[in-house]
Amino acid sequence: MLKRFLPDEFVKDIFHITPEDLLERGIKGIITDLDNTLVAWDQPLATPEIIKWLKGMQDANILVTIVSNNNDLRVKAFSEPLGIPFIAKARKPLNHAFTRALKTMNIKNDEVVVIGDQLLTDILGGNRRGLHTILVVPVASSDAAITKFNRRLERRIMSNLKRRGLITWEE
């Protein structure tokens, strides 16, 4: 049961995920969380660095879909100016949004990675769907109210994973 929370990879931030590395592994698509994965949860628009990273993926023909539990207004305001498809109110970790993103991108499970900052939503959801999951350190040290609760649970899960020797990286 605990292994469902274990990401396949851990990186400091999304900038450690390169198009070259993904293409080398046969990856054609990214399902990414928005808040505290791409930008701080309270930052409405993409930073120049995020725009450059997304452009790099686009130039490499790697599809990107934002899958967020946040509301339509928030996710649309971020995604539309960038021309990035999105699914808001995703209800992660449930499978529906992940399945919908795969269908929209028209790619298979083994051709996509899921990137996110939360074990309880992004990683659990991606793992439940059988997708390759990548955990990133949250962009901001602050969180929305519901996420604060999740973070407390995540710390307990991480401690458990470490005690069992399942985590080999340092935070």
Q: How confident is the model at residue 66 (pLDDT cuts 50, 70, 90)?
A: very high
Statement: residue 112 has pLDDT above 60: yes
- The pLDDT score that the predictor gives to residue 3 is 83
- The pLDDT score that the predictor gives to residue 114 is 98
- What percentage of residues in the chain have a pLDDT greater than 70? 93
Say if domain 2-163 classifies as CATH 3.30.360.10.
no
Statement: residue 26 has pLDDT above 90: yes
- The pLDDT score that the predictor gives to residue 51 is 97
| 92/102 Cα distance (integer angstroms) | 15
| 138/37 Cα distance (integer angstroms) | 6
Q: How confident is the model at residue 68 (pLDDT cuts 50, 70, 90)?
A: very high
Residue type, 18: T
Nearest Cα residue to 84 out of 51, 49, 37 = 51
- The pLDDT score that the predictor gives to residue 2 is 76
Nearest Cα residue to 136 out of 41, 14, 33 = 14
Residue given tokens 């996110």 in the structure block? 116
| 7/136 Cα distance (integer angstroms) | 10
Handedness of CA 53, 58, 59, 62 (dihedral sign): positive
What are the pLDDT digits (tens) for 39-56? 998 888 999 999 999 999
Statement: residue 153 has pLDDT above 60: yes
For the chain, the three-class secondary structure string (H helix, E strand, C coil) is CHHHHCCCEEECCHHHCCHHHHHHCCCCEEEECCECCCECCCCCCCCHHHHHHHHHHHHCCCEEEEECCCCHHHHHHHHHHHCCCEECCCCCCCCHHHHHHHHHHCCCHHHEEEEECCHHHHHHHHHHCCCEEEEECCCCCCCCHHHHHHHHHHHHHHHHHHHCCCCCCCC
